[in-house]
């Protein structure tokens, strides 16, 4: 109401959402990177991250958010995530036998094999799974927030 | 990087290359528009070349099996397990045949789009979605896994819906897209529910493995009904055809041509479910009669609805419904006779006719929609009453339209005649009425296209019409399909025995389908 | 028209209830494929989480398709909600 | 069998959603109906994989008394559900953007009034 464009909510909401934004992002990254160990993964973590950006859109207004991170930029982020996914999948049949094969199991990167049965969880496991989780996380953060931003901007056009 | 390596991995490559290109197209679009156009065309040509190589290998050799993420492409069942665990791609004759259609139509649509959407914004995403439609079709056609079929069905529907709404400023385009979106997502959810029913009983998702243990219980029957209803809806068979004219009419012309190929991918899924998933366990007589009835209804209702239309693309859309009926009739007769002694004598011929008609329809209907788009490009209207005398200025388009119209009406020497003749001859053995209705529909089709030709191309030239024909890239797009029509019309015997017969054989021989993935049937 | 729709609707759901009645007992699913996955997740993929192993490894191709659906829908939203005016 | 109450709940949810899609005229309500059907099918998939008394198929800090594999719920239905949820989100986003454009063009959400295409 009291922004120069008349956008956004009150200063209290703006400051608090600005403060908790980094924490939500870190939590999102945590969920993405522990996808192969705990419940969660790329989609879930990505949805958390996207909700952080949506919170900024609600608090600061769509136009303000667009100046910082436009829908084009966000969807570029998404394209890069998708490309990373396909490239890792294609590396499957260059490095190993088939498309999408988990060629990193047994190698130095993410390649440890955990002991069978219950264990406390070792981060350096899972082969290509953490990489794909990360790619999907990027995709979901970029994509969902771009959709919400585009819809918010279009409904602004009317008035 | 030798030829064998390429052929082994080609099923995965054919999905991966257009997919990667689709992700990259919006990025390249931000850098350079010309580079983006060239990139898309090159990707489409590469896909076409790989597809032809793969299809040739499948037609002359055996089906290609590709297990995603396994230690070797043919290791479908892991050492300690009894059933396939991973997703398996299975490219047999029918899949390769459908893949040929998809890539060819996409290539023509890609060339045609270069000029057709030149004045629009958001072209980067337009081409990305075009490539995604190709990915969706190929994914549906190659997969041997039933849940994967659902995923790629959704890729295809979402890309099509978005492209139908591409010219959103017309209003009715968005409306058609919304209708398409509702219909296809409901259909997809029915498919998903049926997959749940099958999975819940057998704990399997691989089609060949499912077919091996299929018991045809009550749950299987309910799943079959859901699957047939959903895919018949998606391919525009008659009781559920309402969305077809609405969305075909408003989509940009190249996309309409792609939509024809897309609904044929659903048709493929329908046939695959009936023949390969259920096969002889189902009651072939009843299901065959249902499919024949769907086909007859589609043929007849489609063509009668087409007669009074004033809108050129709407008229052609109803003809698309009617032509889908021929394919359902041909393959339905095949299903009806499956497992009976008559199958080898004329059941196979009926299947060949139906399947040959799929590729013919994709070619000439695609061409007709492209010519309709060319007319719209020139005179900015789709109403037949407002156009006339276009033969004076649009020489190439006129020739292309004539070839397409003669082919759809089943006039020799064009390809429509070859496939329709096969259907007439073999359906006659089941019941003469089937052939008579089919011939009658064919005659009405000819009448309807004579009317279009007369009101659009004949008569005095339009006063405000610009001189000259449409741009070169559009002519190239139409020419690709025309060459196909003429070749298929001139050498139908060669095509039937070398391309169509392996496809029909792949559908009819369920044991081969099961054996190549899940071991002996 | 509405009456026909209601009748079809009721028949359809009668069959669906039949389907629900005929399903396996709740809580005791057949599990040939899934038992293999549960037992071999750790040594084949190195992941502790069975669901992630299925999502990204055993059925990774599905996930690729699903990511594609998301990309498609987002590109579609961008196309439908794009601004018009400046031609390229 | 009669203890299949979760499956009956699924069918009732599908019926509610289908009813909204077929008999409602407001476009937003149609979209809501599709989302309800979608959720019902997701519920169906997830109930398919439930094993009585099972824990999530995750080995991190797994209690020692769990029987492997009999004590874990099935992982595949969960993966399928995850896939189908994301697809549902995508469909909903696309459908809502169509509705936004239809509303801008016709000024109404009533599907009876949005009938430019009917002959």
- What ipTM was estimated for this complex? 0.93
Smallest CA–CA distance from A123 into chain D, residue: D60
CA gap B59, B138 in Å, rounded: 17
Does D90 contact chain B (CB < 8 Å)? Answer: yes
Which ranges constitute the DSSP H helices of B73-202? 93-116, 123-142, 146-164, 172-202
Does C38 contact chain A (CB < 8 Å)? Answer: no
CA gap B253, B250 in Å, rounded: 8
- The tens digit of pLDDT for each residue in C36-62 reads 888 888 888 888 888 988 998 899 899
- Is B27 within 8 Å of A79 when comparing Cβ atoms? yes
Q: Which residue in C22, C53, C68 has the most chain B C-beta atoms within 10 A of its own C-beta, making it the best mutation to test that interface?
A: C68
* Cα B104–chain centre separation: 11
Does C61 contact chain D (CB < 8 Å)? Answer: no
- Is D100 within 8 Å of A117 when comparing Cβ atoms? no
- Is A83 within 8 Å of B19 when comparing Cβ atoms? no
Of B161, B192, B199, the CB nearest to D94: B161
Q: Which residue in C1, C22, C29, C33 has the most chain B C-beta atoms within 10 A of its own C-beta, making it the best mutation to test that interface?
A: C33
Question: D1-51+71-119: which CATH architecture?
Answer: Orthogonal Bundle (1.10)
Residue in this structure with the two tokens 């436009």, named with its chain if needed: A70
For residue D60, the 8-state DSSP code is B
CA gap A90, A101 in Å, rounded: 9
The H or E element containing residue B315 is helix B312-337
Q: Interface partners of A (3+ CB pairs, < 8 Å)? A: B, C, D
- Is A118 within 8 Å of D100 when comparing Cβ atoms? no
Does C41 contact chain D (CB < 8 Å)? Answer: yes
Structure tokens at A79: 């394209």
Smallest CA–CA distance from B19 into chain A, residue: A86
Of A82, A100, A114, the CB nearest to C60: A100
Does D38 contact chain B (CB < 8 Å)? Answer: yes
Per-chain mean pLDDT for chain D: 88
Does A106 contact chain D (CB < 8 Å)? Answer: no
Scanning D88-107 for CB atoms below 8 A from A yields 89, 93, 96-97, 100, 104
> What is chain B's pLDDT, residue by residue, as a tens digit (521 residues)?
688 888 888 999 999 999 999 999 988 988 898 999 999 999 999 999 999 999 999 999 888 899 988 888 888 888 788 888 899 999 999 999 999 999 999 999 999 999 988 888 888 999 999 999 999 999 999 999 999 999 999 999 999 999 999 988 887 889 899 999 999 999 999 999 999 999 999 899 999 999 988 888 889 999 999 999 999 999 888 888 888 988 999 999 999 999 999 999 999 999 999 999 988 888 888 899 999 999 999 999 999 989 888 889 999 999 999 999 999 999 999 999 888 887 887 888 899 999 999 999 999 999 999 999 998 888 888 888 888 888 888 888 899 999 999 998 888 888 888 888 989 988 888 889 999 999 999 999 999 999 888 888 888 877 666 667 788 899 999 999 999 999 998 898 899 999 999 999 888 888 888 888 876 54
Give domain limits for chain D.
1-51+71-119
Of C49, C64, C70, the CB nearest to A89: C64
SS (H, E, C) B408-476: HCCCCCCHHHHHHHHHHHHHHHHCHHHHHHHHHHHHHHHHHHHHHHHHHHCCCCCCCCCCCCCCHHHHH
- Is A99 within 8 Å of B66 when comparing Cβ atoms? yes
- Is C33 within 8 Å of B205 when comparing Cβ atoms? yes
Q: Which residue in D5, D10, D11, D81 has the most chain C C-beta atoms within 10 A of its own C-beta, making it the best mutation to test that interface?
A: D11
- Residue D116: pLDDT over 70: no
Dihedral pair phi/psi, residue B311, rounded to 5°: -85, 125
Distance from CA of D50 to the nearest CA of C (A): 5
Cα–Cα distances (Å) from B251 to A45, B117, B163, B262, in that order, read 37, 12, 7, 13
- Is A119 within 8 Å of D60 when comparing Cβ atoms? yes
Smallest CA–CA distance from D10 into chain B, residue: B193
Structure confidence at residue D2 (pLDDT): 66
User: In chain B, what are the helix, strand and coil shares in percent, each to the nearest 5?
Assistant: 80, 0, 20
């Amino acid at each position: 109401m009291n922004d120069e464009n008349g956008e956004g909510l009150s200063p209290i909401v703006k400051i608090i959402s600005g403060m908790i934004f980094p924490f939500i992002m870190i939590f999102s990254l945590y969920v993405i990177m522990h996808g192969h160990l705990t419940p969660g993964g790329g989609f879930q973590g990505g949805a958390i991250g996207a909700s952080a950006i949506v919170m900024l859109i609600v608090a600061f207004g769509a136009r303000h958010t667009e100046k910082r991170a436009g829908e084009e930029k966000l969807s570029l982020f998404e394209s890069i995530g998708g490309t990373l996914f396909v490239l890792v999948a294609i590396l499957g049949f260059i490095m190993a036998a088939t498309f999408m094969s988990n060629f990193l199991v047994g190698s130095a990167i993410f390649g440890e094999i955990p002991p069978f049965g219950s264990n406390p969880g070792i981060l350096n496991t899972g082969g290509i799974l953490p990489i794909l989780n990360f790619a999907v996380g990027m995709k979901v953060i970029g994509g969902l927030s771009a959709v919400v931003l585009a819809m918010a901007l279009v409904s602004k056009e009317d008035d | 990087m030798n030829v064998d390596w390429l052929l082994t991995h080609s099923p995965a490559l054919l999905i991966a290359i257009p997919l990667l290109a689709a992700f990259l197209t919006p990025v390249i679009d931000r850098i350079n528009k010309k580079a983006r156009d060239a990139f898309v065309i090159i990707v489409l040509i590469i896909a076409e070349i790989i597809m032809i190589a793969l299809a040739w290998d499948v037609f002359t050799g055996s089906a290609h099996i590709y297990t995603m993420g396994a230690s070797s492409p043919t290791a479908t069942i892991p050492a300690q397990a009894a059933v396939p665990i991973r997703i398996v791609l299975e490219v047999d004759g029918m899949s390769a045949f459908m893949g040929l259609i998809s890539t060819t139509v996409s290539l023509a649509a890609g060339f045609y789009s270069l000029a057709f959407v030149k004045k629009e914004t958001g072209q980067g995403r337009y081409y990305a979605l075009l490539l995604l439609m190709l990915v969706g079709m190929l994914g549906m056609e190659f997969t041997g896994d039933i849940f994967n079929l659902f995923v790629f069905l959704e890729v295809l529907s979402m890309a099509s819906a978005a492209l139908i709404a591409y010219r959103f400023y017309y209003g009715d385009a968005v409306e058609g897209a919304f209708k398409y979106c509702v219909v296809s997502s409901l259909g997809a959810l029915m498919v998903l529910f049926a997959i749940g029913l099958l999975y819940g009983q057998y704990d399997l998702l691989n089609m060949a493995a499912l077919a091996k243990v299929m018991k045809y219980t009550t749950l299987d029957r309910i799943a079959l009904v859901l699957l047939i209803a959903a895919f018949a809806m998606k391919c525009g068979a008659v009781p559920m055809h309402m969305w077809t004219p609405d969305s075909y009419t408003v989509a940009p012309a190249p996309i309409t041509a792609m939509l024809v190929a897309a609904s044929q991918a659903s048709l493929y899924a329908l046939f695959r479910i009936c023949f390969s998933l259920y096969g002889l366990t189902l009651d072939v007589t009843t299901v065959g009669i249902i499919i024949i009835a769907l086909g007859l209804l589609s043929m007849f209702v489609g063509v009668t609805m087409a007669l009074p239309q004033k809108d050129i693309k709407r008229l052609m859309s109803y003809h698309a419904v009617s032509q889908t009926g021929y394919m359902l009739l041909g393959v339905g007769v095949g299903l009806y006779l499956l497992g009976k002694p008559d199958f080898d004598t004329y059941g196979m011929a009926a299947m060949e006719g139906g399947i040959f008609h799929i590729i013919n329809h994709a070619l000439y209907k695609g061409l007709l929609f492209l010519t309709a788009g060319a007319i719209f490009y020139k005179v900015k209207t789709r109403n037949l009453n407002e156009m006339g005398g276009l033969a004076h200025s649009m020489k190439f388009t006129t020739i292309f339209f004539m070839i397409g119209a003669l082919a759809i009406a089943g006039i020799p020497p064009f390809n429509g005649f070859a496939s329709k003749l096969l259907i007439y001859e073999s359906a006659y053995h089941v019941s003469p009425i089937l052939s008579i209705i089919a011939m009658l529909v064919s005659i009405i089709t000819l009448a309807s296209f004579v009317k279009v030709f007369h009101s659009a191309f004949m008569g005095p030239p339009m006063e405000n019409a610009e001189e000259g024909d449409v741009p070169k890239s559009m002519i190239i797009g139409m020419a690709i399909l025309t060459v196909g029509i003429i070749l298929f019309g001139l050498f139908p015997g060669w095509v039937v025995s070398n391309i169509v017969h392996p496809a029909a054989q792949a559908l009819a021989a369920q044991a081969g389908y099961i054996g190549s993935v899940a071991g002996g049937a | 028209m509405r009456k026909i729709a209601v009748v079809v609707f009721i028949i359809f759901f009668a069959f669906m209830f039949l389907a629900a009645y005929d399903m396996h007992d709740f809580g005791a699913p057949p599990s040939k494929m899934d038992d293999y996955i549960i037992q071999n997740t750790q040594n084949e993929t190195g992941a502790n989480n069975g669901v992630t192993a299925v999502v990204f490894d055993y059925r990774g191709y599905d996930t690729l398709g699903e990511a594609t659906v998301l990309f498609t829908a987002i590109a579609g939203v961008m196309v439908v909600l794009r601004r018009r005016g400046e031609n390229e | 069998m009669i203890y299949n109450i979760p499956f009956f709940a699924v069918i009732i949810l599908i019926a509610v959603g289908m009813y909204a899609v077929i008999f409602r005229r407001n476009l937003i309500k149609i979209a809501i109906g599709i989302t309800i059907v979608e959720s019902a099918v997701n519920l169906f998939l997830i109930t398919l994989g439930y094993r009585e008394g099972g824990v999530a198929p995750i080995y991190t800090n797994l209690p020692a008394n769990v029987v492997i594999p009999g004590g874990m719920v099935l992982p595949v239905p969960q993966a399928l559900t995850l896939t189908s949820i994301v697809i549902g989100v995508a469909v909903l986003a696309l459908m809502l953007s169509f509705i936004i454009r239809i509303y801008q063009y016709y000024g109404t959400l009533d599907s009876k009034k949005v009938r430019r295409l009917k002959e």
